[in-house]
Amino acid sequence: MEEKMFTRGGMDRLQARTDRENFPYPRGDGKVKLVNAAWLANHLHDDNLTIVDVQPNIHDYIQEHIPGAVYLTEGVLRVSNRGFPGSYSPNACLQESFRRAGIEADSPVVVYTGKGTFSSAGDGLGQTMMAYTLAKYGHNRVYLLDGGIDTWKSEGGELSQDYPAVEPSSFTAEVRDDYPIGYEEFRQIKDNDDVVVLDARPAKVYEGKGPWRKAGHIPGAVNLPWKSLMDEGNPALLKSNDELDMILEEHGVDRSKTVICSCGTGREATNEFVLLKWFYLYPNVRIYEGSFTEWVTHPDNPVVEGPEPREARAEAAPAR
């Protein structure tokens, strides 16, 4: 019965979701896994565990954080490059940032964020952005805390205002360049029948209400707002697998195809990349880091406004 319900995903997807309650999730050797507050509470004092707090503002961290967590702002991950605003920082800069946080490539690191008790500026994306970047630059055991610090608190987790004594690590940045897809390759394959392009931005932005020089979205991109995958009250908490399955089916996210995750600047897309590649074990997932920002820097590239992936083509009037 379930096989018929999930025809595109089939048994592969069902197998990937059967052990959601067994953490770290899923099983196997994936670079990024999901853990929950109960798992972290049981492993909080493991000698080889590093906890990274990526709350939206340093004052959020100062006011409260999970015991032992080191603050690592998401802002170090990207800088302008030749004027383009959404480029990743140089390898040496990321390497030094991870070293100062005491992160070792083969030791587990738990990443979490929150709404921000002080700033109220958290949107939930900090932890997928950090998890993706760690894995891209060579980390092998990234654990993402489902629900972040807000779920941790709601389940009675201990909080601290102490700063841990951190010894710098010997982390070496080694880029896994099979995760992102560059502009030229993206442009060449995005319209292929075996490719699905997702746009993770909110529907109103996808349809044409964003800040870019051109309004709308990349032709052919299917709108799958990343927030639709998350709990309504906590943007760092994933919905149940049953709910996620239905959403993916409704949007035609077929695991037999290459799925390219995109958004506005490549940040929102990390949410869907992490979900599909590492939690749902899709075999061919890429992330277009340049996303819509890069697409519209090329004046000749077309865009589409409105809710449909492509513009409706009016049929020619019959000859009289």
Annotated catalytic sites, by residue? 263
R_g of the chain computed on alpha carbons: 20
The CA-CA-CA angle for residues 77, 33, 130, to 5°, reads 10
Alpha helical stretches, state H, the chain:
2-5, 10-17, 37-43, 58-63, 91-100, 126-136, 148-154, 183-189, 203-204, 241-250, 268-273, 291-295
3 state DSSP class of 144? strand
CA distances to 20, 30, 136, 146, 224 from 280, rounded to whole Å, are: 10, 11, 18, 15, 16
56, 122 in Cβ contact below 8 A?
A: yes
68, 135 in Cβ contact below 8 A?
A: no
The CA-CA-CA angle for residues 306, 301, 227, to 5°, reads 45
d(CA 271, CA 227): 9
